[in-house]
Amino acid sequence: MTGPQSGRKQEYVAFIDQDEVTDEVRNIAVKYDPLNRSGHEGFHVTENGELHIDDANVLAEHKLIEKKIPNDAIQIIPLPAETGQLVHQYGENGFRLYNLPIPDDGSVIGLLGRNGIGKSTALDILSGNQVPNFGGDDEGAGWNRAIESFRGTTLQTHLERLRDESVDTAYKDQRVDSLHETDAETVRELLASRSDDPDRFVNALGLRSILDRSLSDLSGGERQRVAIGVTLSRAADLYLFDEPSSFLDIKQRLSVARTIRSHVQETDAAAVVVEHDLATLDLLSDAIHVLYGEPGDSASLPSGRQYGRASTSSWRENYRKKTSKFGVIQSTSRRLALATAKTTNRPLYIRSLRNRSRTFHSSSNRVRFTTGNR
């Protein structure tokens, strides 16, 4: 089952590895650019000597330059369109999610994307909290239909276990401000009520000093660490974390990432993590799924669900997000540290915490990111 296409013209983005740009590459790019030859601005050299082209000006014809240059300094990448398996839709002309990330035992799968693009919807489905409707009305939704739609794929087994209620999931919600809305009054009581070994993650997450603190008196960062500890304390087959680094300083983020990763590997469980902090995601995950596209307006929906479209596809090479009328989850087995374009002109620089990686610059110079194998 494939969702409707956007009908938009194919868009492209240029990756420019400035470290590989030589005088020969600059000359070829400027000389053979079809825009430059027709009196418009295409590839050009900036005041600081870097090769540049605006994202909006990248054309399919620029692939000629990619073929002419003697190295891989320039790559012209087509941006995927709305495509794939339509998994869930919120109402007529509502938010559409295509495909799903696949949990993998002993591994952490990361989800990266802007707000309102379908990350939490994917978690809700993987946890069993949301039954996918595949674009129809919710009354026709059911796990058997989901299983049939993904028959023959790795995801089929997980959906069958959700239907049979034979998979245990532990879900840390994005919101941690409601942590105190339980029968427990202190951190110690909350951990004891959720685990047979309440002290297991106390030291790793820095909870020792707040064990006897009232839940209502905790700061945002303390609530986050307690919520993560409560989630990890549950014996589960699948762990789901929605933005576990929120409210945490850099030291705490690294500690949380290592704790989650270590626990997943020790228990051979699967984990899916939604995260906006790219350095944390790079350290934490074995594979990254990127959601791209244009989110909808959640304020227009009484239920708070977001209008828009989302889809998923797989790449193994560098990816740069460009705003469009859809959303995509991208799956890869390579270790990627990915950055999405921001609305400001300030560059965003991400360095891998796991490995030494090459640094790439997007054509607009608004995004810089590193990538490398684990």
**Quick one: pLDDT at residue 43?**
97
Amino acid (1-letter code) at residue 222: E
Lowest-confidence region among 124-138, 220-234, 270-284: 124-138
Span 266-280, mean pLDDT? 92
Residue 252 and residue 88 in contact, taking contact as beta carbons nearer than 8 Å:
no
- State pLDDT tens for residues 280-290: 888 999 988 87
Cα–Cα distance for residue pair 289/100, rounded to 1 Å: 9
**Quick one: pLDDT at residue 341?**
30
Task: Choose between 326 and 301: higher pLDDT.
Answer: 326
- State pLDDT tens for residues 95-133: 788 888 899 999 999 998 878 888 888 999 999 999 998
Cα–Cα distance for residue pair 314/1, rounded to 1 Å: 17
Could you tell me how far CA 120 lies from the centroid of its own chain? 10
Tell me the Ramachandran region of residue 135: left when phi exceeds 0, alpha when psi lies from -120 to 50, beta otherwise. left
Span 20-42, mean pLDDT? 96
**Quick one: pLDDT at residue 299?**
22
Q: What is the DSSP letter of 308?
A: B
* Assigned token pair, 254: 């690294």
Tell me the Ramachandran region of residue 155: left when phi exceeds 0, alpha when psi lies from -120 to 50, beta otherwise. alpha
Q: Indicate whether 59 pLDDT > 50.
A: yes
Side-chain-side CA neighbours of 172 within 13 Å: the count stands at 27
- State pLDDT tens for residues 127-163: 999 999 888 766 656 899 899 988 998 899 999 999 9
Residue 63 and residue 32 in contact, taking contact as beta carbons nearer than 8 Å:
no
Task: State the chain's mean pLDDT as an integer.
Answer: 77
- State pLDDT tens for residues 161-170: 999 999 999 9
- Reduce the DSSP state of residue 174 to 3 states and report it: coil
**Quick one: pLDDT at residue 182?**
82
**Quick one: pLDDT at residue 195?**
83
**Quick one: pLDDT at residue 278?**
84
Is this structure's pTM higher than 0.75?
A: no
Span 1-21, mean pLDDT? 68
Span 336-363, mean pLDDT? 32
Residue 178 has phi, psi (to 5 degrees) of -100, 15
Q: Indicate whether 277 pLDDT > 70.
A: yes
* Assigned token pair, 358: 């090459």
User: Where do runs of H (alpha helix) occur along 72-183?
Assistant: 119-127, 143-149, 155-163
Name the band, by pLDDT with cuts 50, 70 and 90, for residue 82.
Answer: low
Span 242-267, mean pLDDT? 95
**Quick one: pLDDT at residue 181?**
77
Span 339-361, mean pLDDT? 31
Residue 81 has phi, psi (to 5 degrees) of -100, 170
Name the band, by pLDDT with cuts 50, 70 and 90, for residue 69.
Answer: very high
**Quick one: pLDDT at residue 88?**
85
Span 77-106, mean pLDDT? 79
